[in-house]
Structure 1
Amino acid sequence: MKYGIISDIHSNLEALNIILDYLKRTEKIDRFICCGDIVGYGAKPNECTEIIRQLDNCHTVAGNHDWGAVGLEDTSFFNPIALAAVEWTGRHLTEDNRNYLKNFASEIEENNFILVHGSPRDPINEYIFEKSTFLENLPRIKKNICFVGHTHVPLCLYATPSQEIKGIPLDDGIVLEINPSYKYLINCGSVGQPRDGDPRASCGIYDEETNILRIKRIKYDIAKTQEEILNAKLPSTLALRLSYGR
């Protein structure tokens, strides 16, 4: 089985279309997995949600913006810009798309991996940047790999059988051979709002047969996406940040 790994689309239609086209045509993906946050921040929540809905071979978990937009997650702690965007999204989602987002699970298990948005300990809200946080979550990782999103930053943290913790950045084109005896936490980055200083859309490709994971970054039409955000009267910061990948 060959998986395409996407996360944090955030209503960025241009980026989503580019990534899915690559994964379908070039990588010949068998199944997609999405680590949450289809919506939020961007101007095309319905279009992006409908594209994911129509992928009959896609497993998706809830992100904080997905559930925040439909009233299932407390948004009182969102920063003002994120709050404005999630409230805008909630007003613009169709009823069918609202129901679709409401029905997401917070965690999915498949074969040798689990899938969450934040962390195994807190599937919706916890950010994992540091080795210490990974170590605290380690007892909850019952599979070889835990795929996450939420931080918008590609990263791999892993633990050896002796619980030695190591981390490596997941740069464009990197090839990571998964060791079946290790425990991995892997973030393949953000499709629609990267925050690692690289504005290109990010995704992962995981081949279950070879146990190889790769990261792919792809340019998309940022200017068009920015225009859509501004035309929707969303905060201008959400458009400007896309140019810098921050």
Structure 2
Amino acid sequence: METNIAIITDIHGNSAALKAVLENIDKDKQIEHIYCLGDLIGIGHETNEVLEILFSRENISFVKGNHDEAILRIIQGKEPSSVGEEREHHQWIASRLDEKFIPRLSSVPNKLEKVLNGVNFLFVHYHLREKDKFLSIDYEPNTNKLDEIYKNSNADVICFGHHHIIHHFKSSKRLYLNPSSLGCNTKPFAPYLKLRIGMARQIEVTFFEVPYDNKDFLLSYEKQSVPARDFILKVFHGEQHLQYI
């Protein structure tokens, strides 16, 4: 039988977008499992709402993102990778994270490997170097560079996030997919993708953009005095909030 999965990534503390996507996914009764590729929290301010939704479900597997990692390091009394206004933002998020979520969030791995209908999948937040450190974002990716990064991998399909744009690359060696950020968008919709893996190892890829009402989410940045809100609202949300002021 064929296998059907959904891929979500970079929720970034946006529960309104997450609810819209999960509602959309749940309408498809063929979807057997959801893979979430990290950055559950950070940037968005709905930390506990997002984690409550995600961790209450049994059909989602996770990998850890750089924002998740930075916030956990602050909670653990360690130095995060973030600096300046970004670190202030991470500290704000960390101070408001319900401690009941810390064990589960801490246990999330940096990568997952699965075999689905004979196809080898690798799920990561972004490309990893030694000691599971994330590479810097490549803003001009191509199949040659991706194949070089994964030259020692036996994965047929590599799914990742972090870079908030869609990636759909296929080389002679493997398929590379990134559905784009679910929670950070310059328009009021939330992206994700579905994969159908057939018995003959064929793969059907479908990208989705789910519309949702982001008004309250955007206006709450100011109401809650979220650190780095001006930068976040401009860069990650295209200043959509201005239409509501």
Are 2:27 and 1:22 equivalent residues in the alignment? no
Are 2:215 and 1:239 equivalent residues in the alignment? no
TM-score, L = length of structure 2: 0.82
Q: CA offset at residue 97 of structure 1?
A: 1.0
Residue of 73, 89, 94 corresponding to 1:85: 89
Q: CA offset at residue 150 of structure 1?
A: 0.6
Within 5 A, what are the aligned runs for 1:1-246?
Answer: 1-26=3-28, 28-71=30-73, 74-76=79-81, 78=82, 80-111=84-115, 112-121=120-129, 125-126=134-135, 127-129=137-139, 130-131=141-142, 133-160=145-172, 182-194=173-185, 198-209=187-198, 211-234=203-226, 235-237=228-230, 238-244=232-238
Moved over 6 A (4+): none
Q: CA offset at residue 230 of structure 1?
A: 2.0
Supply the distance in 2 between the matched residues of 1:244 and 1:199 (Cα, whole angstroms): 10
Contact 2:128 2:134 in 1 (8 A): no
Contact 1:118 1:124 in 2 (8 A): no
- Residue 176 of structure 1 is matched in structure 2 by none
Contact 2:188 2:213 in 1 (8 A): no
The more displaced of 151-160 and 106-115 is 151-160
Q: What number of residue pairs does the alignment pair up?
A: 222
Supply the distance in 1 between the matched residues of 2:134 and 2:79 (Cα, whole angstroms): 10
* Equivalent residue letter for 1:239: L
DSSP 3-state at the match of 2:129: coil
Q: Which runs of 5+ in 2 are unaligned?
A: 241-245
Per-residue Cα deviation, 1:106-140 (whole angstroms, up to 9, x for no partner): 01001121100011436552224422541331214
Per-residue Cα deviation, 1:21-71 (whole angstroms, up to 9, x for no partner): 001114642100000000001111111012111120111000011111111
The more displaced of 47-56 and 31-40 is 47-56
Q: CA offset at residue 191 of structure 1?
A: 0.5
DSSP 3-state at the match of 1:186: strand
Contact 1:61 1:105 in 2 (8 A): yes
RMSD across aligned C-alpha pairs, in angstroms? 2.3
Q: Which runs of 5+ in 1 are unaligned?
A: 161-181
- Larger gyration radius, structure 1 or structure 2: 2
Give percent identity, aligned residues only.
Answer: 21
* Equivalent residue letter for 2:109: A
